Structure 1
Amino acid sequence: MTASCNVVVLISGSGSNLQALIDSCGPDNPLRISAVISNRADAYGLKRAAAAGIPTQTLDHKLFADRESFDRALIESIDGFGAELVVLAGFMRILSSGFVRHYAGRLLNIHPSLLPKFKGLHTHQRALDAGESEHGCSVHFVTEELDGGPVVVQAVLPITSSDSAENLAQRVHTLEHRIYPLAVRWFAEGRLRLGRSAVELDGQPLPACGQQIRN
């Protein structure tokens, strides 16, 4: 059995992707969620973590003078839990360059679009407005470019004529719950790494779009 991999999950809200990660834990998965940290004390995800017996911590960004001082305190907390991987699961903070560099190659995020398309917010409506035939979500390594890090895996679905931004969001959210635990497990198993020129899975470079799963 592979040694466990300590993962710290950062959240700001309901934590549905956190729940998917919790549900993926088991004796055959080296993933070990060592802590869940939120910048909001009222984040429902903290209750999900507590119900699963996972330590939680709240670090209110409003109590810090600036982003850099908050991020320094956040780094101290994360490293105190022995994190080998940091997972952003609805963490609604733009991270400083220093934070991103500190966790280079071991910081993952999920974004509700087929990157590099539709970085930022309101991705589902923007995909509809652009007349896209496909949409989906992407797990990527975080770099200093917002939503611009190398892609690990994407889940792709067709856009139908009956889709609205609301139901498209629901469909994509379901896919997020599938591919985020998959990517985190690959990392925990030592199969996934950020190489010098590309994301590597099992020692082989992945294409720019990562591994694609079509639905």
Structure 2
Amino acid sequence: MLSLVVLISGGGSNLRSLLEASEDAEYPARVVAIGADRDADGLALGEEFGIPTFSVPFTSFPDRAAWGDELLAQIEQWKPDLVILSGLMRLLPPRVVAALSPNLINTHPAYLPEFPGAHGVRDALAAGATQTGASIIVVDNGVDDGPIIAQERVAVNSDDTETSLHDRIKTVERRLLVQAILDIANGHVNLKEHSNV
């Protein structure tokens, strides 16, 4: 049984899917803690599902390195098998990546390497793309350029807004995340083979 720590910055829609999947006794992973870099709405899922939560507000620290050290200390208390960045909108310091790699994965709302960064959905629309997608990657020290472990295409409709497209991508992203963790737990994906760090 894999133990998971999930890090969020927002509402935690991917996290909710993972928590619902793990309610199935056959699913080989359990979320042991939920963390955030701010007072995120998704922390409420901890109370709903009976999962401990922690918050390490970025603004409470003098720099990214100090924030990262405290975040890592909080994560390591739970001794997770896997750490998932699920909408965490902040780059982890290299020391944190090195400590957790390769058991550190991220979801991204684009078909990487297309449209990396914080505005993948907006960038796809601005580029006039006819398709984009969702990806699950192993985190490295770059911006969304770690090894890809799962991805799927999503068509861009002519009348799409950023919200409508992102909603369709999130549906795929959630399914990919649940499946990727299943594949890691079952040994179908070996994260050590996907590590760049």
TM-score, length basis structure 2 = 0.92
**Which residue of the partner structure matches residue 28 of structure 2?**
30
Structure 2: distance between partners of 1:189 and 1:129: 39
Structure 1: distance between partners of 2:83 and 2:92: 13
**Which residue of the partner structure matches residue 71 of structure 2?**
74
Greater shift after overlay, 118-127 or 140-149? Answer: 118-127
* 1:188 CA displacement: 2.5
* 1:104 CA displacement: 1.1
* 1:194 CA displacement: 2.6
Between the two proteins, the alignment pairs up a number of residues equal to 194
Deviations 1:96-133, CA, capped at 9 Å, x for gaps? 11111111110000111100011113222322332322
* 1:179 CA displacement: 0.8
* 1:77 CA displacement: 1.1
* 1:142 CA displacement: 0.3
RMSD of aligned Cα (Å): 1.5
Greater shift after overlay, 7-16 or 161-170? Answer: 161-170
Contact 1:72/1:99, CA 8 A, preserved across alignment: yes
**Letter of the 2:147 counterpart:** P
Out of 5, 10, 17, which is 1:13 matched to? 10
Contact 2:105/2:139, CA 8 A, preserved across alignment: yes
Correspondences of 1:101-120 after superposition (within 5 Å): 101-120=98-117
Contact 2:121/2:165, CA 8 A, preserved across alignment: yes
**Which residue of the partner structure matches residue 127 of structure 2?**
130
1:180 aligns with 2:182: no
Contact 1:21/1:181, CA 8 A, preserved across alignment: yes
* 1:10 CA displacement: 0.6
**Letter of the 1:160 counterpart:** N
Give aligned-pair identity as a percent: 34
Structure 1: distance between partners of 2:99 and 2:55: 21
Larger Rg: 1
Between Structure 1 and Structure 2, the one with more helix by share is: 2
**Letter of the 1:34 counterpart:** V
**Which residue of the partner structure matches residue 96 of structure 1?**
93
Out of 147, 164, 167, which is 2:144 matched to? 147
Deviations 1:17-52, CA, capped at 9 Å, x for gaps? 1101101102111101110011223x1111112110
Q: Give runs of ≥4 in structure 1 deviating > 4 Å.
A: none
DSSP-derived class of the 1:83 partner: coil
Contact 2:131/2:155, CA 8 A, preserved across alignment: yes
Contact 1:105/1:193, CA 8 A, preserved across alignment: no
* 1:79 CA displacement: 1.0
Contact 2:134/2:154, CA 8 A, preserved across alignment: no
Structure 1: distance between partners of 2:157 and 2:67: 43
Structure 2: distance between partners of 1:96 and 1:24: 30
